Chain A
């Protein structure tokens, strides 16, 4: 719980006695999905995925829009019934213990749904009430969370008047009001400017340090690298690969990547003359990517072949390359 007392979140609010005790043990996975499937008519939005999230872990779902990330989050959040497969959240089946599970989750949705007509503080108080938290306690937590979200000086500002980044931080603060055991964030920084993103990442990093379990969806590779210890790459409702960011890059990309631009019409033509350079290559509409362990050395070889790209760049291999390798497409289209 954010506030002056560091450490893992306090015990969950008392749920109905029907909740199995297994949900309370720290040993089991926080989320376990096996063959998890969601179909809408003929369309399989989530097509049989397996994954587990351990307590204290920060786990990511990386994939383009429409890959099935949000649908997965809705099933884990116990607001959408699965079509097939097994799913346990905090040791419980969301179909049978929805309200008990939700009482221990914090959810940051893709689109803000704060009450824009209330003040920042009232938003937290009102939301806390939905978890059955007494009013006085809601107010105490609201003040603490506003501090954590760096919004203490905006407590009495109407949400309408807050910037995009502030609204996002308030939404995260709101998701923490019930001291959740699992915080789920759906595209947490989409639409924010770089500075606002970094402030937000910093806040999430602090939560991570306190041992809060995070599940994050994103289509930004830098976000996944910043926030996730382990992630799955998803596309068309299926898991393409799983591992830590560094691990995935090692397996599917290379340490360095050379980006060459020859001008739109000449990329294909140049490719013929690049043959044999680097471990592997990709041709994008606007550039050629060469995968290698040593970018500078490769660039010298390019120059030796008398190729004159209009621009050239050496960078580290990234999750973007992993995704490109796995799906043949870029993350952001």
Chain B
């Protein structure tokens, strides 16, 4: 219950940059879907993927990965600077800490508020993808957001734990953006199948929540053929990362606020 008060407060605060949330949430998918679907796709003659009924359009291949990326992007914003601000720049968490609310409930409220923003962003993305004909199965518009959000949390919760442990800002978040997010975005089967890469680069995909979420999304949206054990692995990795991230984040919040 207390976590809801934290979420309420955070969402109130998000209004300050609500415009960015809305424009980013709708503008970014428009740009990607138009750019990749209308532009890049016209150069790609060889089909990159196929479903049960043969090859699918490039934009159909890429859409589930873009949906997951959108959730991860929200995570890179809300689980970094927001956390640093709460502990250090604006010190909001210390104020909440003096109330009956416990540190893990503060962390939980932040996750809830981020979840709201993620769901909005990812759902808008999925609906636009449907409108652009990027979803082979129309019903997948209903389940794709869940996979995207799961990917966002699998990346975001460990990141939140890390952010909560930082006491001095020495550009760590810019480094995460450059050396973690960008390589993950480019090398984990977002724009081409992971199998295209040399084998020695495949590990990036395997450790990347984005790859696991993209593959699950592809299986749902156009029926990418993945063996059952691999689908289970995707799910286990995503849930496992999110759960481990949550445990670490809650512990770090408690340790820091209750020193």
Contacts and interface: CB of A to CB of B under 8 A. Distances in A.
Interface string B1-38: 11001101100110010000000000000000000000
Interface residues of A, number: 30
A80 interface: yes
B9 A126 contact: yes
Interface string B78-111: 0000000000001110111111111000000000
A129 B9 contact: yes
A131 B98 contact: no
A115 B8 contact: no
Interface string A115-156: 111100010001101111000000000000000000000000
A99 B97 CA distance: 10
A127 B99 CA distance: 8
A81 B92 contact: no
Interface string A226-245: 00000000000000000000
Interface stretch (A102-110, A252-260, A325-333): A102-110
Contacts of A247: none
A317 interface: no
B115 to A, nearest CB: 19
Nearest to A101: B100
Which of A109, A122, A130 has the most C-beta atoms of chain B within 10 angstroms of its own C-beta?
Answer: A130
A99 B105 CA distance: 12
Contacts of B91: 111-113
B98 A102 contact: yes
Given A80-B259, A81-B258, A117-B13, A132 B100 contact: yes
Which of A40, A77, A79, A118 has the most C-beta atoms of chain B within 10 angstroms of its own C-beta?
Answer: A79
A116 B259 contact: no
Interface of A is mostly: loop
B258 to A, nearest CB: 6
Contact of B98 (A79, A100, A114): A79
B98 A122 contact: no
A145 to B, nearest CB: 15
Chain B: interface residue count, which band? Answer: 20 to 34
B99 A131 contact: yes
B100 A99 contact: yes
Contacts of B99: 102-103, 127, 130-131, 178
A178 B99 CA distance: 9
Given A99-B102, A115-B90, A130-B2, A79 B9 contact: no
Nearest to B6: A130
B98 A115 contact: no
B257 A79 contact: yes
Contacts of A79: 97-98, 257-258
Contacts of B102: 98-99
Which of A109, A174, A178 has the most C-beta atoms of chain B within 10 angstroms of its own C-beta?
Answer: A109
Given A113-B90, A130-B99, A122 B8 contact: no
Nearest to B90: A116
Interface string B202-234: 000000000000000000000000000000000
A13 to B, nearest CB: 9
A130 B90 contact: no
Contact of B95 (A40, A113, A132): A113
Contacts of B6: 130
Nearest to A135: B8
Which of B2, B92, B99, B257 has the most C-beta atoms of chain A within 10 angstroms of its own C-beta?
Answer: B99
Contacts of B257: 79
B13 A100 contact: no
B98 A80 contact: no
Contact of B5 (A99, A118, A129): A129
Given A80-B259, A118-B12, A127 B100 contact: no
Given A113-B95, A115-B13, A130-B6, 6 more contacts: A80-B258, A81-B258, A102-B100, A113-B91, A115-B90, A126-B9
23 contacts: A79-B98, A79-B258, A80-B258, A81-B258, A99-B101, A100-B100, A102-B99, A102-B100, A109-B98, A114-B95, A115-B13, A115-B90, A118-B13, A126-B5, A126-B12, A127-B95, A130-B6, A130-B96, A130-B99, A130-B101, A131-B100, A132-B1, A132-B5
10 shortest A-B CB distances, which residue pairs?
Answer: A113-B91, A130-B99, A99-B100, A107-B98, A113-B95, A103-B100, A129-B5, A117-B16, A126-B9, A102-B100
Interface of A: 40, 77, 79-81, 98-100, 102-103, 105, 107, 109, 111-118, 122, 126-127, 129-132, 174, 178
